[in-house]
Structure 1
């Protein structure tokens, strides 16, 4: 199996498009082209197919906001940079996006030229011979007319064959720019209950033609190659063999990985509704990866808490704790940033320019656990007195923590002298009289919201808290 890593490009829109804003037909919103195109190539290739298909079905996704003509999504040949183009250029709009030939004329020339090529004829023959070698396919034919019982239209696929209750249309993909042809065929075979199966003569790791990626990204990121070698292997094995190229999601922030392997047709998943045939389920793997990463991210506050409790338990004084975390984030476990525990969370703001609020983290973890954490105090009520006396700007959040963690019974039990009750009775009217004194210190708000999500929403002023 061959493995190749490939990069996803950034900034996929042309720098100065003729149509800088498009009208989203379903909502009536005007959207910047850069926002619509984005920087995710896989998503964009699927969007190209959706735009082409919707235009053919007379339900355009995007319109020109000036002339309301449906728009197509194109790319420059020499570099992957995309823009929107009028499907009809009749002079009514100030944005001129048409070249000397229409896209339909260009597509027709290239497609017809490729159809007549020697390689195209040879690949059809290899396909037919490979299907016969399998022994399971029936009605194998080349260039046989397929008349639709639903649409009334007809097509003539390169090779057609029947496997049990499913009829296949095999098309050899050799041309350069005919997205509309691809979209139109997908729609025809979807409506007619058939399954379109594109095959390539080759599929490069880099520098592929745009039309190859139009097929690849809309086929669950799988591509299939038919050659003399696969034909010979099919004959020898007595089954239909193809060379498959697919991508697998990378781990963490890594880019997808491109893999290659010779596979049997029997190993493929056939999805007539989506018009997809694939060996590796990229969408499923990506969904599992997203779920795994979500579960991992959900555990990050707990992992930070465990580390903090260890630090707090190892050093009895705030001075020693602050010294220990002075080099944050270098002092944390090495695996924290494998999936972004630091780089993708508010922890990324802490380091030389901003230090972790050691005392306040100790106070809030004390509230969560109902005992002093990292503070040289014997009882939890002493922690409450310490915060109310020394950090009034955190008192509203602390009151929120006391309510969420249900610490009122504990405070009442430990308030043997009644001093806590007296303090509460004193600071409540003071909050009304001097709200500025108790207004939350928002410097660390994102950190506390992240580490203590159960406390959301954190009040910003006494008026919100009382």
Structure 2
């Protein structure tokens, strides 16, 4: 067997939580390293495998052919795998196999143990918490043919609801997610997907979130700290919160809160668990935007009405003032408006440099301020109303 003819081109190393290229690894592996690893793989193969096929995630071993070409291989009598040339698996079976195999990583194992221990301490759950216990269909016709093996199975103490937890570490095919959710829905179990971190750019995260009212549950270091402090399972729930923007549109932001199962809600129809109904929040924001638009429109109409009324009053005042002037002119033939009075005074000053006393000014004027008709009073160079002192100009 040559290097290029190795069927298994990649292997998942569970302790490092990473996938390695078998050609690069084996071509650069020293003899001592090869045999020590070969022994470690065989030692843990049946209990806690450290090397898995990256396609089917079954345990693999290290072998060599007669030409001493090293390679990874499936063990004898292992289940079918696409890497094998004689495979008869369907695409759905292959993806389900890959999903189950991802559970063998170190992070997955460690956090699965932590969550199960917290559930045992949590008074909201019964003590019979199981790890990777086979969950068979509840209402089969004849022998139960369908089954799943969730990471953790538990039962609520209050109403005996079955709750299964699936710890999501890496990317998962959407059809695997859908089939798994559909299975638990048909068998009256509520599924809770748990992530170790929140990445709103990952499609797997968003696939699961948007199918659950835009809620996603995270078990990170903060959640672990809160859980250990309260001796119960505390998760950090991220949800997509809608809000009204300055432009009166809907904006969204991801926010988070620590939650336990006493404040979570159960979607009876889809058999899922959520914290915030973001659809209801969106409807509330839509109503808020509509009310704000109505308020702004009302204020605009009121401002326009006030402006029109002010203009009408201004025009009415001008009209009324003009009518009063006309009335005074009719009553007093010698009546002069302040402007006419000013023009006459100006012509008088041009004709004579002699100071004119108020006694020689025998024509009455109307004060523009108090509308009193009378002779103006001379004050220095100015002529002012004898009543209010307003300048006659």
Could you state the TM-score of these two structures normalised by the residue count of structure 2? 0.50
- The reply to whether residue 240 of structure 1 matches residue 236 of structure 2 is no
Alpha-carbon distance change, 200 to 134 in structure 1, aligned in 2, over 3 angstroms: same
Alpha-carbon distance change, 160 to 315 in structure 1, aligned in 2, over 3 angstroms: same
Partner of 2:175: 180
| Whole-Å separation in 2 of the counterparts to 1:201 and 1:245 | 12
| Whole-Å separation in 1 of the counterparts to 2:250 and 2:291 | 18
| Whole-Å separation in 1 of the counterparts to 2:196 and 2:304 | 58
Task: Tell me which of 209, 218, 222 is aligned to 1:216.
Answer: 209
Query: What secondary structure is seen at the aligned counterpart in 2 of 1:266?
Result: coil
| Whole-Å separation in 2 of the counterparts to 1:103 and 1:298 | 55
| Whole-Å separation in 2 of the counterparts to 1:229 and 1:317 | 67
- The reply to whether residue 169 of structure 1 matches residue 151 of structure 2 is no
Deviation by residue 1:425-462 (Cα, 9 ceiling, x = unmatched)? xxxxxxxxxxxxxxxxxxxxxxxxxxxxxxxxxxxxxx
Preserved CA contact (<8 Å) 2:130 2:152 = yes
Equivalent residues, number: 218
Higher-Rg member (1/2):
2
Query: What secondary structure is seen at the aligned counterpart in 1 of 2:257?
Result: strand
- The reply to whether residue 117 of structure 1 matches residue 105 of structure 2 is yes
Structure with the bigger percentage of strand: 2
Deviation by residue 1:46-85 (Cα, 9 ceiling, x = unmatched)? xxxxxxxxxxxxxxxxxxxxxxxxxxxxxxxxxxxxxxxx
Alpha-carbon distance change, 309 to 267 in structure 1, aligned in 2, over 3 angstroms: same
Give 1:280 deviation, angstroms.
2.5
5+ long unaligned stretches in structure 2: 1-88, 320-393
Partner of 2:190: 195
Query: What secondary structure is seen at the aligned counterpart in 2 of 1:290?
Result: helix
After TM superposition, the structure 1 = structure 2 runs for residues 260-271 of structure 1, keeping only pairs within 5 Å, are: 260-271=256-267
- The reply to whether residue 230 of structure 1 matches residue 219 of structure 2 is no
Partner of 1:143: 132
Give 1:228 deviation, angstroms.
5.3
Alpha-carbon distance change, 109 to 194 in structure 1, aligned in 2, over 3 angstroms: closer
Task: Tell me which of 287, 293, 296 is aligned to 2:292.
Answer: 296
Give 1:190 deviation, angstroms.
1.5
Could you state the TM-score of these two structures normalised by the residue count of structure 1? 0.43
| Whole-Å separation in 2 of the counterparts to 1:210 and 1:176 | 8
Preserved CA contact (<8 Å) 2:250 2:285 = no
Partner of 1:446: none
Give 1:298 deviation, angstroms.
4.4
Alpha-carbon distance change, 228 to 316 in structure 1, aligned in 2, over 3 angstroms: closer
Give 1:286 deviation, angstroms.
0.8
| Whole-Å separation in 2 of the counterparts to 1:114 and 1:156 | 13
Task: Tell me which of 304, 310, 322 is aligned to 1:308.
Answer: 304
| Whole-Å separation in 1 of the counterparts to 2:171 and 2:102 | 9
Q: Which has the higher contact order (CA 8 A, sep 6+)?
A: 1
After TM superposition, the structure 1 = structure 2 runs for residues 18-29 of structure 1, keeping only pairs within 5 Å, are: none
Give 1:306 deviation, angstroms.
1.6
Partner of 2:117: 129
Alpha-carbon distance change, 125 to 249 in structure 1, aligned in 2, over 3 angstroms: same
Alpha-carbon distance change, 213 to 128 in structure 1, aligned in 2, over 3 angstroms: same
Give 1:162 deviation, angstroms.
0.4
Preserved CA contact (<8 Å) 1:171 1:198 = yes
| Whole-Å separation in 2 of the counterparts to 1:125 and 1:227 | 14
Partner of 1:283: 279
Structure with the bigger percentage of helix: 1
Misfit runs of 4+, over 6 Å:
none
Give 1:246 deviation, angstroms.
1.6
Preserved CA contact (<8 Å) 1:220 1:276 = no
